[in-house]
Structure 1
Amino acid sequence: MNNASFDWSLVRAFLAAMDHGSLLAAARDIGTSQPTLGRHIVQLERQLAVVLFERTGRGLVPTEQALRLAETARAMEGSADRLWRLAQGAEEGGRGAVRLSASQPVACVLLPPLLARMREVLPQVTVELVVSNAVSNLLRREADIALRMVRPQQASLITRRIAQVTIGACAHRDYLHRSGTPQRPEDLGAHLLVGGDEENDVRDHAAALGIPPDTLRFGLRSDDLMAQWAAVRAGLGVGFISEYVMRTDPKVQPLLPTLKLPHFPIWLTVHREIRTSPRIRAVYDFLAEQVPVALSAQGS
């Protein structure tokens, strides 16, 4: 194979398969069909004259050759994305769209008032909001800027801790009227709880308090954070909600101020090419200034 005959577009399929471990999930990630992605991987294997994956009942297992090639392939992908972003920044100046990724509570509660204010300050910028509790891959152009509770590790990203989110126990006053108000953390064992389905944070915290996890009773379990908030507002039980969300409904009462729950940092993450895109720089600077102010105002 010579360099001129190499199909660079097949690298995208290879990396998606590396990341997801299955043809179906990889195809969904890059917006193609499973058979097409499978053909692309076979074509790449033929061009490189190597076997990249072992097909097993549990999915795709990368070979040693695939693991060796992955780092270079990711560098190729990053260079292609960087070229695209540089061109976009040069063409559009301070005008155009900025893709912003945030979790459900941040996107649905914290950001809307800020985005309305930003529209007045930056009327030339259109925001494309990616609402997901999964960590968007900025290197793959899923977003330009991300607000996350987890700090990305990629060296090519600029990450800044801009604020902190506090979680608190709470319940609707109608639930408390029916079931009483817990006075101590140990009292939670006698109440209906609202918590995650797959996640076991509530059970872990209960165990730390000496409450046997098997004794916990749930009014609702869901990993959808906004569904948890809706359940608390409907009086289904005691929930564990971000304080900035909790304060949006005066009928929801904070509980157990002595209960020690984790604080989560908010990381603002952006490409290093922020220096070449005036519109991304403007949105980044606005969020870096206004998100801490909004959280402080809600906490005052």
Structure 2
Amino acid sequence: MNKSNFNWALIPSFLAALQHGSLMGAARATGVSQPTLGRHIAELESQLKLLLFERTGRGLQATPHALDLAEAARAMHAGAADFSRLASGAGQSVQGSVRLSASQPVACHLLPPILARMRQALPHVSVELLVNNSVSNLLLREADIALRMVRPEQNSLVTRQIGQVRVRAFASTDYLQRRGTPQVPEDLVQHDLIAGDTNSEIEQGFEAMGLPASALHFGLRTDDLNVQWAAARAGLGICFMGEYPLEPDPNIAAVLPMIALPVLPVWLTVHRELRTSARIRAVYDFLGDEVTRALQGPHRQGLRG
């Protein structure tokens, strides 16, 4: 193989075919036509003088040669992406858009006043806010910066713990007047609870205290955390949410302070190479300072319990 004539642009097609096992699947994933992908694979095999895929009726079967080359190809592809990120940040001024990912409660309750201050501090930067309770993939550029309660494990990401949020039990004062205020965890069996629909964290916590989860009653189950909070404010039951620095709400009270509920770390995450971008570095640093300051302030969420 003539190294000087090697076509590095063939590597993405090779990796797509390897991952999806067919030209059709690779075409859907990359937006490149099947004939073009087929030519890329044939050209790569010709340059390497190796058979990379067996063509079968069900698609492409990677040969041992292809599997041996996969790790090196992924490293090449990642290196090209890093080069592109570095180049895109070179010489940039602090202007343009930054895509930020955050969970629903963080986006609705914690970020708005911080983003308002950032708009004044960085007037030429616009924010695209991706609100999702799942963890966005920064490596795939779903977001530039993520604010999460889960620490990512990828080595190519820079992450910084900027605070923590304590989970507490909340209910509306109207609900507590109607149903009474629980004094001990065992009292929860006499109340309606609001919890997630696809997890059993409440039941697991109850059983960890030596209490039967089967005795619990749920007034509402939904994975939408904003709906949980709104339902609690409307008097539907007791919910378990993180404390966020809001203005005092006289209609909400915290209950059962003796329950050992989780304290969630707050992580600010960015791709390592993206920190060379002036606008992303500016937003990253601003959020790091402002979110830390907000989380260190008094949690004023009408906590009267």
TM-aligned CA distance change 1:4 to 1:104, over 3 Å: same
1:8 maps onto 2:6 in alignment: no
Cα pair 2:11 2:73 within 8 Å, conserved = no
After TM superposition, list the pairs within 5 Å mapping 1:62-101 onto structure 2. 70-90=70-90, 92-101=92-101
Task: Report the alpha carbon displacement of residue 239 of structure 1 after superposing the two structures with TM.
Answer: 0.4
Which sections of structure 1, spanning at least 5 residues, go unmatched?
Answer: none
Q: Deviations over 1:26-64 (max 9, x none)?
A: 96xx686xxx79889877776564459x999xxxx9998
Counterpart check, 1:153 vs 2:153: yes
Bigger mean CA offset, 90-99 vs 73-82? 73-82
- Correspondence list, 1:1-300, <5 A: 3-4=6-7, 7-10=10-13, 13=16, 17=20, 49-51=51-53, 70-90=70-90, 92-244=92-244, 249-299=249-299
Deviations 1:90-116 (A, max 9, x none): 253221111111111111211111000
Closer, same or farther: CA 64–167 of 1 in aligned 2, 3 Å: farther
> Partner of 1:92: helix, strand, or coil?
coil
Describe the shift of the 1:117–1:245 C-alpha distance in structure 2 as closer, same or farther (beyond 3 A): closer
TM-score (norm 2): 0.80
Deviation sequence 1:264-291 (CA, Å, 0-9, x none): 1011111222452111111111111110
Q: Is the 8 A contact 1:99 1:145 kept in 2?
A: yes
Conservation of the 8 A alpha-carbon contact between 1:222 and 1:228 = yes
TM-aligned CA deviation for residue 180 of structure 1? 1.2
Q: Higher helix fraction: Structure 1 or Structure 2? A: 1
Q: In structure 1, what residue type is equivalent to 2:182? A: P
* Residue pair 1:244, 1:298 contacting (<8 A) in 2 also: no
TM-score (norm. length: structure 1): 0.81
The amino acid across from 2:173 in the alignment is R
SS at match of 2:89: helix
- Where 2:90 maps in the other structure, the secondary structure is helix
Per-residue displacement from partner, 1:217-255 (whole Å, max 9, x unpaired)?
Answer: 101111221221122122111100111177663311100
Structure 1 Cα separation of the partners of residues 37 and 197 of structure 2: 36
Aligned to 2:171, the other structure's residue is in SS state: strand
Residue 297 of structure 2: SS of its match in structure 1? helix
Whole-angstrom distance in 1 between the partners of 2:65 and 2:197? 39
Query: Offset of 1:134 from its aligned partner?
Result: 1.6
Distance 1:73 1:179, change over 3 A: farther
Structure 2 unmatched runs, 5+: 46-50, 301-305
Percent identical residues:
51
Contact 1:193–1:218 (CA under 8 A) maintained in structure 2: yes
Change (3 A) 1:102 1:43: farther
Partner AA of 2:244 in structure 1: Y
Change (3 A) 1:288 1:78: same
Deviation at 1:10, TM superposition (A): 2.4
Instruction: Please identify, of 227-236 and 84-93, the stretch whose mean Cα deviation from structure 2 is larger.
Output: 84-93
Give the letter for the 1:4 counterpart: N
Q: Is the 8 A contact 1:149 1:264 kept in 2?
A: yes
Deviation at 1:78, TM superposition (A): 2.4
Write the letter of the residue equivalent to 2:127. V
CA RMSD of aligned residues (A): 3.5
CA drift of 1:183 comes to: 0.6
The alpha-carbon distance between structure 1 residues 122 and 190, as it changes in their structure 2 partners (threshold 3 A), is same
**Structure 1 residue 261, shift from structure 2 partner:** 0.3
Instruction: Please state how far the C-alpha of 1:14 moved relative to its aligned partner.
Output: 5.2
Matched length: 287
How many Å separate the matches in 2 of 1:83 and 1:5? 14
SS of residue matched to 1:94:
coil
Query: Partners of 2:188 and 2:215 in 1: how far apart?
Result: 10
- After TM superposition, give the deviation of residue 144 of structure 1 in Å: 1.4
| Higher radius of gyration, 1 or 2 | 2
